[in-house]
Amino acid sequence: METLRRPLKDHVYDYISSRIDAGELSAGDRLSEQAICDAMGVSRTPVREALIQLASDGYLDNLPRRGFRVRGFDQQNAVEVFEIMGPLDGQAAYLACPNLTDDDITQLKFLVGSMDLAIQGGLIRKYDDIQRDFHLTYFNRCGNDRLRDMISQLERCFIKRDYETVDQETACKLLNKANSEHAHILELFEARDATGVRDYVRDVHWNRENAQFTVW
Amino acid sequence: METLRRPLKDHVYDYISSRIDAGELSAGDRLSEQAICDAMGVSRTPVREALIQLASDGYLDNLPRRGFRVRGFDQQNAVEVFEIMGPLDGQAAYLACPNLTDDDITQLKFLVGSMDLAIQGGLIRKYDDIQRDFHLTYFNRCGNDRLRDMISQLERCFIKRDYETVDQETACKLLNKANSEHAHILELFEARDATGVRDYVRDVHWNRENAQFTVW
DNA sequence: GTTTTGTATATTGTATACAATCATGAACGG
DNA sequence: CCGTTCATGATTGTATACAATATACAAAAC
């Protein structure tokens, strides 16, 4: 088995995107090609190719002759993403509904329980990971990879949210509400109510949009 | 006023994407970097950058070390796109509904009439252009540029459809049905029935998915 | 003191050169 | 005759060099 080398541009892409996701690079920060070259020990060619791809994928803005900057994400953008996520997430649930196996349902139940435990223990990060698994479980059953990838991409817009801005008590309250929504989604799945779960999921996003969106 | 020169990579991007949209390049065709360089009289650097962007935007596939190929679009892909378009188009209509001015409504009415005339005259291409205007009219009022751009991008998947594969009579029949749907959308807009138009538009896509999709 | 302008420096855009890998096909062995 | 091996050329990946433009700062004009 050959060790097929990944192109350098992909490494650069991962390096930059993970730094953005981790919040080490903030909106508006300028990315110097040379600085990235020095940091990673590669030439400008793969760096530029990665930056172009990152811009195309929404991570960066490009301004010709003025380099690349981390794309901002203001409240207006957040609203836009929520307005798109709702219908898409709902559609994913709708499509997945008839495809969910008993094992999937069991898995979803387990995850809802796990999220409850995480909330009781104040483990917000943990909750967040499980929550992602919950959604991925039915995304992966929707039979539409393009849809799944689209939603995943939109979700990344919110990965870099700050866990510390909300106090523990408020967070628990919000998360409890969110998890009761998960429980309801699960019920609709069990009842195989495809259109019901579609509309419910869509409207849940809508309601979150009108609330704060540091936690969802 | 400065003559701000567009980067060469953008020219290359336009050149390739338009050739794909026009059907001059078909699914699976390999794109030789050198051939593009020769055709456009530029070096490989801007060509490669354009190809990377085109791949990132869904036009091409990349297979490392094996170059770029025009991404195929089979029936499975078409179904996936329809399943995404429906909810998004519906959401755009939903969001636009309260924003539509009287002038917009008048414009939409005019376009529906124009489409009828185009159908009577057998001008399928003309119909298609007007149909695009019809949808753009409310996309531009949905107040969500990201959503609008997303839908536009998905629409391009179908631009390269073949007008000649369907005989004139069948086409007219299908288009008449499609335009009656436009008329109904218009009615719902006039009644300011946001949720109604949302669900109707969504379901119309769904029905088209289950019909042929050489015409929509 | 503020604005303008010019020059030096830094950065991006493009071209070219080289290295690594892949595709092709001929020679060879079965 | 068919499949394998191995050279040869073609193509991609990466590095570097040069050109074009933008930025920063200092000096001059108002």
Interface of A with B (CB under 8 A): 4, 6-7, 9, 45, 48-49, 52-53, 56-57, 64, 77, 79-81, 83-84, 86-88, 90-91, 95, 144-147, 150, 202
**Contact at CB, B95 and A81, closer than 8 angstroms:** no
| Four-residue CA torsion sign, B121, B126, B128, B131 | negative
Share of chain A above pLDDT 70, in %: 90
Mean per-residue pLDDT for B97-101?
98
The pair phi, psi for residue A165, each rounded to 5°, is -75, -20
Q: How many CB atoms lie within 10 A of CB B206?
A: 16
DSSP label at B72?
Answer: P
Pick from A4, A87, A145: CB nearest B88? A87
Asked if residue B33 lies in contact with residue B67, where contact means CB atoms within 8 angstroms, the answer is yes
Closest chain B CA to residue A8: B64
Asked if residue B72 lies in contact with residue B25, where contact means CB atoms within 8 angstroms, the answer is no
Three-class HEC string of chain A = CCCCCCCHHHHHHHHHHHHHHCCCCCCCCEECHHHHHHHHCCCHHHHHHHHHHHHHCCCEECCCCCCEEECCCCHHHHHHHHHHHHHHHHHHHHHHHHHCCHHHHHHHHHHHHHHHHHHHCCCHHHHHHHHHHHHHHHHCCCCCHHHHHHHHHHHHHHCCCCCCCCCHHHHHHHHHHHHHHHHHHHHHHHCCCHHHHHHHHHHHHHHHHHCCCCCC
Asked if residue A84 lies in contact with residue B146, where contact means CB atoms within 8 angstroms, the answer is yes
pLDDT at B173: 83
Average pLDDT value for chain A: 89
CA atoms of A168 and B67, how far apart (whole Å): 51
**Contact at CB, B83 and A4, closer than 8 angstroms:** no
Whether residue A2 is predicted with pLDDT greater than 60 in this model: the reply is no
Instruction: Dump pLDDT digits (tens) for A166-211.
Output: 677 777 888 898 899 999 999 999 999 999 999 999 999 877 755 5
Give the pLDDT band of residue A22 (cuts 50, 70, 90). Answer: confident
C1' nearest to CA of B67: which nucleotide? D12
Whether residue A77 is predicted with pLDDT greater than 60 in this model: the reply is yes
Asked if residue B85 lies in contact with residue B154, where contact means CB atoms within 8 angstroms, the answer is yes
The strand pairing partners of A61, in sequence order, are A69
pLDDT at A14: 97
Task: Give the residue with greater pLDDT, A163 vs A86.
Answer: A86
The strand pairing partners of A60, in sequence order, are A70
Mean per-residue pLDDT for B185-189?
97
Closest to B89 in 3D by CA, of A47, A87, A156, A109: A87
- Which one of A5, A11, A77, A144 makes the best mutation probe of the B interface by having the most chain B beta carbons within 10 Å? A144
Asked if residue A140 lies in contact with residue B77, where contact means CB atoms within 8 angstroms, the answer is no
CA atoms of B74 and B72, how far apart (whole Å): 6
C1' nearest to CA of B62: which nucleotide? D12
For residue A110, give how far its alpha carbon lies from the nearest alpha carbon of chain B (Å). Answer: 29
What predicted TM-score, i.e. pTM, was given to this entire model?
0.87
C1' nearest to CA of B44: which nucleotide? C15
Closest to A144 in 3D by CA, of B103, B86, B69, B7: B86
pLDDT at A156: 84
Whether residue A215 is predicted with pLDDT greater than 60 in this model: the reply is no
pLDDT at B209: 56
Minimum mean pLDDT range among A19-28, A154-163, B23-32, B107-116: A154-163
Mean per-residue pLDDT for B16-21?
93
CA atoms of B17 and A131, how far apart (whole Å): 39
The pair phi, psi for residue A58, each rounded to 5°, is 95, 0
pLDDT at B1: 38
**Which bases of chain C come closer than 7 Å to a protein CB?**
11-17, 20-23
B51 SS3 class: helix
Average pLDDT value for chain B: 89
pLDDT at A213: 45
Give the pLDDT band of residue B161 (cuts 50, 70, 90). Answer: low
Q: Between chain A and chain B, how many beta carbons pairs sit less than 8 Å apart? A: 71
CA atoms of A176 and A102, how far apart (whole Å): 25
pLDDT at A196: 98
Residues of B within 8 A of A44 (CB-CB) are: none
Whether residue B147 is predicted with pLDDT greater than 50 in this model: the reply is yes
DSSP label at B28?
Answer: T
Share of chain A above pLDDT 90, in %: 69
Number of residues that make up chain B: 216
Mean per-residue pLDDT for B21-35?
92
Whether residue B2 is predicted with pLDDT greater than 50 in this model: the reply is no
Q: How far is the CA of B54 from the C1' of D3 (A)?
A: 40
Task: Give the residue with greater pLDDT, A161 vs B128.
Answer: B128
Give the pLDDT band of residue B174 (cuts 50, 70, 90). Answer: confident
Closest chain B CA to residue A146: B80
